[in-house]
Structure formats: C-alpha cells, structure tokens
Structure 1
Amino acid sequence: MVHALLRDGAGWPKWSPLGSFALESQAPGGGEGVGAVRVFLTGRHVSRERIVAGVPDRHFAYVLLSGLPLRDYRADVRLTPCEDGGTEIHWRSVFRAKVPGAGWIHRRALDRFVGDVVRGPARHAAAAA
C-alpha cells in the first residue's frame, strides 16, 4: 500500500506537506511509472521530478529536475514488509548544493521535510487498514 501511495502523485497533497500536484508527462507506458514527470506546488515553491525506479512494494525512486538549489538530487525509497503487516520505510536522498558550503542547510531542511513525508503514508495506510 505504501508504494501505491508514493506512486500516486495526486494523493500526495492528502497525506504530505505538498500543496498540489500535476502530471507534466506520463511514463512511456502511461501513468506515473518510470519516466513520468511530476510537478508539486507548495506555496510559491514548484518542484519537478522524474520517476526513475519503481518495483511494487519494494522500491520507488525519483530525481529532482528543478525547484531546489540542488544538483544531482536523487531519492530512493526502499520498502520492507514487516511481520505485523506494516511496512518499514527507508528514504535516502543524495544531492550536491549549488552554492558551495550550503549543503548542510539543505540537508537539515530536507531531513525535516522527508520526516513529515514518511510519517504521512504510514498514518494514511494505518487509517485505511
């Protein structure tokens, strides 16, 4: 269920800090699969990302195309089923800051944001169960 929530960009505003969603371009096979470009708007901040990996119930990954002062941003979300029926979420992002020396500032902000995002699907999935 968590993988389905991650892949459904239109649902992110319901369970994450993101404000709105638009699908800029579909994956080659259609929809929000590998290759799709998604746009999220929060306040005045617009970020564009391309989905680069998707293994149902195991792995979801995207790269940032624009929207943050970062280079080479990639997030990999690994999902591990738990014996109790839940899902363990490991969200790892790597990037380089466009401004030398500013990486720690972005890391701190992203850690806070990703923490909020990770708690979102967990709460949403629990409420739906």
Structure 2
Amino acid sequence: MVEPDFSAILPVSADFLPRRADQSSWMGMYLRAGTATDDVRSSAVRSYDVLAETAASPAVVWRLLLDSRSWPAWSHIDELDVGRSSGLSSDGRDVVGAIRAFRVGKTVITERVSGLEPGRHFAYEGVESPHMADHQAAIDLHETPGGGTRIRWHGTYRARGIERWSSGRRVERVMRTMVTGLANHAAGQIGR
C-alpha cells in the first residue's frame, strides 16, 4: 500500500512525519503526526482570562494556591505526581522554582512556580505539556469590600498537538472550571 503524503495538510514539517518500515497503517502515521508535534512556531499566541469571586479571604485562597497537594481537591486535576515534581514544600507553601507535576487522566502537565507576591499574585509557567507551549499564567487576588476575594486567572500560550485545531474555547472552559473550583473550595474553608 502506498502511504499518502500528509505534509501538505498538516501544520508540521515534512521531516517530522514518521516514515518507519514497521509502520502498520497510514492512519496511525496521520494520528501520531497530528498529535505529537512540537512544532509550535506557526501557532498563534492565545490567551484566557477568567474571574470568580469567593466569600473566603485572600489569605485562605493564597494557602490553597501555594499548596500543590490541595489542587486535586478543587480542580479537574486527578493527582499531584510527587515523583515528577521537585522543590515542593513539606508544609504546603511551595516557593518560586518549585516544579509541580499534575496528572489529568494519563497526561502529566508540569509547571514551575515563577513568581509570588504573598496574598496577591501567584505566577507559573509551563515546563511540559502535550497541549500547550510557552504557557505563562498568573492568578491575581483582590480583596472585595465584604472581605472576600476576586480571583483573576489569566495566561497566554501557544497550542500544540491536536489543540492547534481547536478554537481555544476548551482551554477557556478548563480554566473557568479551575477558578470556579478554587473559589468554591476556598469558601468551604472559612472557619476551618
């Protein structure tokens, strides 16, 4: 069987397409080429910016952000992969430079804490992700008049793999789920 040349329709370089003698199907080649690419140079910078409010104080929200072990409790993250993480604080107060590896299903996403302004600003950058490159994110906390917190989670990234063909709405939905989960969980922590 002659394998079709997908280099004209896939946004990857022709040298990237696997051309192995043991390739059993051209469809398998197409799927691997479309989802495993690291060629993000032509991918436009995308962004997200989501908000939520909680009755919890900025101090409560801040504690949750610093404690990477709490993230699975309030987000779509299944678990913190301690074996792939480094520099984690044993007291739940991760510092700049800590690398956090989060597992979602079979996928592991690794992020580095890149900036902290206590009680106000938490920043991180993507280290490894099959869906995003050049990911820079920040979570800003603003105290509201009643003592609660307005949480703004925003970032930029370049889509990679199959995410390159999406509109970016999926990432926006995921981040909205994250900020809402944080806000709701923080509210549940009041008085604890």
Q: Deviations over 1:55-87 (max 9, x none)?
A: 111000111111233221011111101111111
Q: For 1:117 and 1:107, locate their aligned partners in 2 and report how far apart those are by CA, in whole Å.
A: 16
Higher strand fraction (1 or 2): 1
Aligned residue for 2:168, secondary structure, equals: helix
Aligned residue for 2:76, secondary structure, equals: coil
Query: Which residue in 2 is equivalent to 1:47?
Result: 109
Query: Which residue in 2 is equivalent to 1:21?
Result: 80
1:63 to 125, 132, 137: 125
Asked if the contact 1:18–1:42 (Cα under 8 Å) also holds between the matched residues in 2, the reply is yes
Q: For 2:186 and 2:132, locate their aligned partners in 1 and report how far apart those are by CA, in whole Å.
A: 31
Identity %: 34
Give 5+ residue unaligned stretches, structure 2. Answer: 1-59
1:119 to 137, 160, 180: 180
1:90 to 146, 152, 171: 152
Q: For 1:98 and 1:43, locate their aligned partners in 2 and report how far apart those are by CA, in whole Å.
A: 18
TM-score (norm 2): 0.60
Asked if the contact 1:97–1:106 (Cα under 8 Å) also holds between the matched residues in 2, the reply is no
Q: For 1:106 and 1:89, locate their aligned partners in 2 and report how far apart those are by CA, in whole Å.
A: 24
Structure 1: 4+ residue segments shifted above 4 A:
none
Aligned residue for 1:92, secondary structure, equals: strand
Give 5+ residue unaligned stretches, structure 1. Answer: none
Q: Deviations over 1:16-37 (max 9, x none)?
A: 110000341116xx96110000
1:78 to 136, 140, 143: 140
Greater relative contact order: 1 or 2 (C-alpha under 8 angstroms, separation 6 or more)?
2
Distance 1:106 1:20, change over 3 A: farther
Which protein has the larger Cα radius of gyration, Structure 1 or Structure 2?
A: 2
TM-score (norm 1): 0.87
Q: Deviations over 1:31-58 (max 9, x none)?
A: 6110000000011111000000111110
Query: Which residue in 1 is equivalent to 2:68?
Result: 9
Asked if the contact 1:61–1:76 (Cα under 8 Å) also holds between the matched residues in 2, the reply is yes
Q: CA deviation at 1:106?
A: 6.3
1:102 to 136, 142, 164: 164
